[in-house]
């Protein structure tokens, strides 16, 4: 590639300083010897459209989109994938031929991470218990339904948000009151925390795990710390546990491949680069 045609990508959101995506994409670019750049950009809601429309003219081949722009960018896209439409949000834009393509790879990243961290887990083997009904939960639920999970038990502090997801995603979802969320665990073969509980500086998800079978797989979307209180307690019971860092890495791979033309490696070096970046 000639020097005057160096591909640019990046991530837009606000705030953006905490994002691990520049460290992740940066190490992939270095390892693969690609002369590209991945740049964090703090963009306000007010400037979102102007910025997104200007980026392709500045040499950007695409971007990741994070909070609070994931929903709004859908309306700026010329083409939206089915999964982004279903989730109602996009995390990956591709700029090509003067068009904006929007996709959502969060659900893909979640399932890939789960399959890698818990290869014995079978989607059809039993119910999944999901804590939380926010944006991340939508992607998790869409991907679990797509994978063939027979039942999703859902509990959220604000019950109305869980009910809205049931209205949208259908009857394979059953809702549990937040105060009785422990009842979801009985017979569940997969447990997922999509809330921010357990994150550094936040309270732990304190649900009692008495009903949890050691055969269940437990995963947390929180990755700071890598081992949340939930994962530690589940590990003590004997469950296979899967941390949330892999979801971040796997959701990033399809965008990188489309922008820069190469499938990036996912291994321990990748994890180290994200953790130290």
Torsion of CA 131, 133, 139, 143, to 10 degrees: 50
> Is 137 a binder of ligand ATR (CB under 6 A)?
yes
Please tell me whether residue 139 binds ligand ATR under the rule CB under 6 A: no
Cα–Cα dist 169/191, whole Å: 19
Q: CB-wise, 55 or 144, nearer to ligand ATR? A: 144
| Three-state SS at 241 | strand
Backbone angles phi, psi at 238, to 5 degrees: 110, 5
Smaller CB distance to ligand ATR: residue 138 or 233?
A: 138
| Site residues (CB under 6 A) for ligand ATR, limited to 185-214 | 194-197, 203
Candidate list 50, 75, 158, 180; residue touching ligand ATR; CB under 6 A: 158
User: How many Cα atoms are found within 13 Å in the side-chain-facing hemisphere of 19?
Assistant: 23
142 binds ligand ATR (CB under 6 A): no
Give the count of residues interacting with ligand ATR (CB under 6 A).
Answer: 15
Residue 70 known to be catalytic: yes
Q: Which of 7, 132, 246, 254 binds ligand ATR (CB under 6 A)?
A: 132
Cα separation, 61 vs 94, whole angstroms:
6
For residue 157, which of 131, 139, 137 has the smallest C-alpha distance? 131
Q: Does 88 bind ligand ATR (CB under 6 A)?
A: no
Is 261 a binding residue for ligand ATR by CB under 6 A? The answer is no
Q: What are phi and psi of 245, to 5 degrees?
A: -65, -35
- Picking from 251, 134, 110, the residue whose alpha carbon sits closest to that of residue 196 is 134
Q: Based on CB atoms, which residue is closest to ligand ATR, 134 or 148?
A: 134
| CB of 196 vs ligand ATR, minimal distance in Å | 5
Q: How far apart (Å, rounded) are the C-alpha atoms in residues 195 and 120?
A: 25
Chosen residue from 30, 53, 54, 134 binding ligand ATR by CB under 6 A: 134
DSSP string, 64-121: EE-TTSTTGGGGG-SEE-HHHHHHT--SEEEEETTEEEEE--HHHHHHHHHHHH-TT-
Per CB under 6 A, 180 contacts ligand ATR? no
Could you tell me the smallest distance in angstroms from the CB atom of residue 181 to ligand ATR? 10
Name the active-site residue from 57, 70, 72, 159.
Answer: 70
Contact residues for ligand ATR, defined by CB under 6 A: 132-137, 156-158, 161, 194-197, 203
Q: Which residues are catalytic?
A: 70
């Amino acid at each position: 590639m000639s020097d005057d045609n160096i591909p640019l990508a990046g991530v837009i959101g606000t705030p953006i300083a905490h994002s691990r995506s520049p460290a992740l994409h940066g190490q992939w670019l270095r390892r693969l010897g690609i002369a590209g750049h991945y740049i964090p950009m703090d963009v306000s809601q007010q400037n979102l459209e102007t910025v997104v429309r200007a980026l392709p003219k500045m040499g950007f081949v695409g971007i990741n989109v994070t909070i609070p722009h994931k929903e709004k960018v859908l309306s700026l896209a010329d083409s939206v994938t089915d999964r982004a439409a279903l989730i109602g949000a996009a995390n990956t834009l591709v700029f090509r031929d003067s068009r904006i393509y929007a996709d959502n790879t969060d659900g893909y990243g979640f399932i890939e991470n789960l399959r890698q961290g818990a290869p014995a887990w079978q989607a059809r083997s039993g119910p999944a218990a999901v804590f939380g009904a926010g944006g991340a939960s939508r992607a998790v639920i869409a991907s679990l339904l797509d994978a063939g999970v027979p039942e999703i038990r859902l509990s959220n502090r604000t019950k109305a948000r869980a009910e809205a997801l049931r209205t949208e995603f259908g009857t394979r979802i059953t809702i549990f009151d937040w105060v009785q969320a422990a009842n979801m665990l009985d017979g569940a073969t997969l447990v997922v925390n999509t809330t921010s509980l357990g994150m550094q500086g936040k309270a732990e998800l304190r649900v009692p795990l008495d009903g949890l079978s050691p055969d269940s797989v437990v995963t947390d979307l929180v990755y700071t710390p890598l081992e949340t209180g939930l994962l530690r307690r589940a590990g003590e019971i004997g469950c296979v546990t899967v941390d949330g860092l892999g979801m971040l890495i796997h959701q990033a791979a399809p965008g990188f491949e489309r922008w820069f033309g190469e499938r990036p490696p996912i291994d321990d070096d990748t994890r180290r680069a994200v953790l130290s970046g």
